[in-house]
Amino acid sequence: MVDSDDAVYRELKASVELAHGSISGIVDCLVLGDETATVVDYKTGRVDESKLEQKTEYYQPQLEAYALMVAAFDDRPVTTSLYFTEIEADTGVEFSAGSGDGSLGELKSSLDRRLREEIEAQIKAEFDM
């Protein structure tokens, strides 16, 4: 996955602005290759191999947010991957976002919608006691 001439960054703080707020986080590992940027997110908790697909779906929004964060400062297409350390499994989640294919705009809209829904749910819970 990593070539000797790739730039590797660990624990990279990143953020992205959305219409209804911002999302920030710490990218575990970012590999900048000649053609692509690859985000690797390590999961150190216990995981049952039979629930790997379910766990992967659960973390999909986080991977999408990381892809957007990286795309905000780098023009290369971004791919993401989850690595579960306990079972030494790379899920091979291949979410790809390229700057010219429209997927970044769709992704940004999707994350912004989720953020807005979360904010609305918190406000409703706060005031509808």
What is the rounded average pLDDT of the residues 34-51?
87
Residue ranges in 72-127 assigned as alpha helix (H): 103-127
Averaged confidence pLDDT in the chain: 81
Global pTM reads: 0.74
Model confidence pLDDT, tens digit, residues 1-18: 567 789 999 999 988 888
Contacts 24+ apart (CB under 8 A), 115-123: 115/18, 115/20, 115/21, 115/23, 116/19, 116/20, 119/20, 119/21
pLDDT at 98: 56
Contact by Cβ (8 Å): 69, 25: yes
String of b and e for 98-110 (b: at least 16 CB within 10 Å)?
eeeeebbeebbee
Average pLDDT (109-120) is: 78
Residue length of the chain: 129
For 51-84, write each residue's pLDDT tens digit.
888 888 888 888 888 988 888 888 888 888 888 8
User: pLDDT > 90: what percent of the chain?
Assistant: 17
Nearest to 106 by CA among 70, 60, 64, 77: 64
Which domains can be identified in the chain, with CATH numbers?
7-127 (3.90.320.10)
Report phi then psi at 82, rounded to 5: -100, 140
**Measured distance CA(117)–CA(77) in Å, rounded:** 28
Handedness of CA 98, 80, 31, 66 (dihedral sign): positive
